[in-house]
Chain A
Amino acid sequence: MYGRKVKLRFFFILLIISVLVLSVFLVLKSLEENVVYFKSPSEIKVVGELNTKKIRIGGMVKKGSINMSTDEVNFIITDFKNEINVTYSGLVPNLFSEGKGVVAEGFLKDRNFFEASKILAKHDENYMPPEVKAALEKK
């Protein structure tokens, strides 16, 4: 009915479409699994269920809250409304200090306790992560 060339081209187009669909599916699925959501301490107080996924928490390091020992650093992140205890063992960035903005990435243990696996470094002391700015403006 159809010539060999037409069939071949039809097959080729089908192949391309299926590869495209497959890769879009893969990308979206992987995106869903690997995005990290950003929350402020206040948002964490009101979440219904505690998600086991990795999240980021941003806010200010509460004055006088940093406490250091050989294997970990403890501090409190506040958005001046609510606060959350953070425990962290890892590299502390240079601009990490009391009263300054911070973004911590890790897992929630419960509503008051966060175990960070990474604290994000920023290059510029005047720079505030847009997320923190937004979170602070929300209050």
Chain B
Amino acid sequence: MIYSSIGYYSLIFGLCVSLPIFFFAIKNFKNDEILDSKIIGFSFIQLILVVVSFLGLIISFVISDFSNETVYNNSHTTKPLFYKISGTWGNHEGSLLLWLLVLSLFIFIFLLKSKKLLKNYRILTVLFQQVIIIGFFIFLLDSSNPFNHVFPTPTEGLGLNPILQDPALAIHPPMLYLGYVGSSIIFSSVLAATSLNYISNTWATHIKQWVLISWIFLTLGILLGSIWAYYELGWGGFWFWDPVENVSLMPWLALTTLLHCVLVLEKRSVLKSWVIILSITTFTLSMCGTFLVRSGILNSVHTFANDPERGLFILSFLFVLIFISLFVFFVFHKSDKEEIISFSLFSKETSILINNWLMMYFLSVVLIGTVYPIFLDVISSEQISVGPPFYHKLIIPFLIPFLIFMAVGPQLRWIKSTTLEGKKYLIFFLIVSFVISFLIIKNFGNNLLINTVLIGSALYLFFITVRDFFKKRLQSFSQNLAHFGFSLLILSILFNNIFSNEVITNLKVGESFKNDNFTIEFNDLRKFEESNYISFKGYFLIDDNNSLEKLEPELRVYNQPNIITSEADIKITFLSDKFITMNTVQNEEYFNIRYQVKPFMLWIWISVLLIAVGGFMSLFKRKIL
């Protein structure tokens, strides 16, 4: 009760603090030489108030204060402490409060870290960021207040959806939000820099840090979500091209492109328009991500019950921001004339540019696939869904040049490398990769042509990056590591697709299933009582002609809310995962069993991790080397 009130009032005070920030910023903008420390002071006060508010909500969750509507809707006394805390951001209101927290945290860090830069640039960035912060304050207080009262106070809460009670998913939203919100700083900063015509090499070096930070968090956030979907949803896949997944992939693609543009800007002072537009795009897509997931517009397998009216606010807010940014872009940005001329065909920046176009193409494909169903529903009330074949068909062919340019690009120089002297290894590796790939596919796979070329190009990137680890050693190590990770990712995904094996069958206890590859015995079913659920454990013995494996998938019947979930049992090895799930059907003795052998699953996770580590090392490059 008391903690909710503290939280609520610190939110209101937090909003009020924006006023003096605006006042001093505008005053400071015209007059002085150095930044008024009052701006930093008030930003700090605002941050503290939001932190207090967030802590108020966390404490309300921890002590199970059901007079708070958010707590009542999303918590329960029997829930373990860890999930009580993670329940704070496992819902709409709490997650928005987290957004706000990160927004004010980042602008404060920005102020501390940008001391060497132009005063007016810093002030304008703060102002733009304040516009976003105020928008979120109003949104929170007006339509998604996390501190609403319930009267009379209920004695027990409704509970958190059990499939969200999971360690990976507890930290998935904060990670993702750090990535999303990090793009807000880039957005504000780009607008400020454009208005002051301050976009330059120095600025690029400074903003690169922020791009890297959000990129790393976004990558890790997506990774965690994907791992969670893999073991919790029981389908044994890691990516389903589901709209909710797509909305996190789109900012990632934009951010990755932006990262490369910023690198070019830093070295060559070109691609300014790219940087501006991509920064705006990234933030817009991040906001859209929040909007689409929370509004209930998307028909997704991940959608949880939600409220469409809130979507309207985010949407109109988004339009205001887009309007402001387009205004700034068209009024203040003057394009440099020499930009167009100074590209030669064989240079690092050309290959980056080509891959940027390819990434923009991937982005548009994902965007169309995600938005088209909504669009069609609005204009013709015809309901459709766009499935994985759409994405595969349109993205896979273009991955081939993408991978090749990714391999060749870093080998070229900036500005111009006309001679291919000493670059014969490029052709040598290309031939070797295609031969190896041909041999692999010929022996095992189907779809000879496309798979050969695809695996060939991925192998090519793989070999070239491995060679660089030895040749270049520590020079551009981070970039090389990220590219190496990407080649590993594509290879693991391809092998995973080609060599996967699965059986779906219905079995009673004591029965067994047999085919050419393996025998599945369903030996026993036992019941266990846990604190907030009852568990039914199935005991399976799997014989795949080489080895015997015991697997024990579980069915959990949660008490509050009353939901059945199935917990997969996964035997993870270096080369492949064995994955089994069991499901029950009402009033039937049969259990629905799905057994899968998924090769290289572990490598998919490791490779994404390597990509993120690459970014991380780039962030601390100067400190390490």
Contact = CB atoms under 8 A, between A and B. Distances in A.
A123 B393 contact: no
Nearest to A40: B383
B386 A124 contact: no
A27 B563 contact: no
Interface residues of B, number: 50
Contacts of B507: 70
A50 interface: no
B299 A129 contact: yes
Interface residues of A, number: 42
Contacts of B583: 91-94
A127 B304 contact: yes
A125 interface: yes
A98 B526 CA distance: 25
Determine chain A's interface SS by DSSP, over half rule. loop
B233 A121 contact: yes
B59 interface: no
B364 A27 contact: yes
Contacts of A26: 394
B303 interface: yes
B287 to A, nearest CB: 22
Contacts of B588: 66, 68
B405 to A, nearest CB: 15
Contact of A91 (B385, B393, B594): B594
A127 B385 contact: no
Nearest to B593: A91
Given A34-B393, A35-B384, A35-B385, A127 B506 contact: no
B624 interface: no
A35 B386 CA distance: 5
Contacts of A27: 364-365, 368, 394
A131 B163 contact: no
Given A122-B301, A131-B383, 13 more contacts: A34-B390, A35-B387, A35-B390, A36-B386, A37-B384, A69-B506, A70-B506, A91-B581, A91-B594, A96-B585, A123-B301, A123-B302, A123-B303
Most buried by A among B163, B385, B563, B581: B385
Interface in A82-139: 89-98, 120-127, 129-131, 134
Interface of A: 9, 23, 26-27, 30-31, 33-38, 56, 66, 68-73, 89-98, 120-127, 129-131, 134
B592 A130 contact: no
Determine chain B's interface SS by DSSP, over half rule. mixed
11 contacts: A23-B361, A31-B368, A34-B390, A35-B386, A38-B384, A38-B385, A70-B506, A94-B583, A98-B586, A123-B163, A125-B563
A92 B585 contact: yes
Given A36-B387, A89-B504, A98-B586, A123 B161 contact: yes
Contact of A94 (B299, B340, B565, B590): B565
B225 interface: no
Contacts, number: 118
9 A-B pairs with the lowest CB-CB distances in the bound complex, closest first: A34-B390, A38-B383, A35-B384, A97-B586, A68-B590, A68-B588, A92-B592, A91-B594, A34-B389
Most buried by A among B163, B383, B394: B383
Contact of B566 (A72, A94, A124): A94
A24 to B, nearest CB: 9
B564 interface: yes
Contacts of B135: none
Contacts of B390: 30-31, 33-35
A43 B566 CA distance: 34
Interface in B379-418: 382-387, 389-390, 393-394
Contacts of B564: 94-95
Contacts of A89: 504
A59 to B, nearest CB: 13
B234 interface: yes
B570 to A, nearest CB: 15
Nearest to B581: A91
A72 B365 CA distance: 36
B274 to A, nearest CB: 15
Contacts of B449: none
Nearest to B381: A134
A71 B305 contact: no
Contacts of A92: 583, 585, 592
Nearest to B555: A94
A123 B235 CA distance: 13
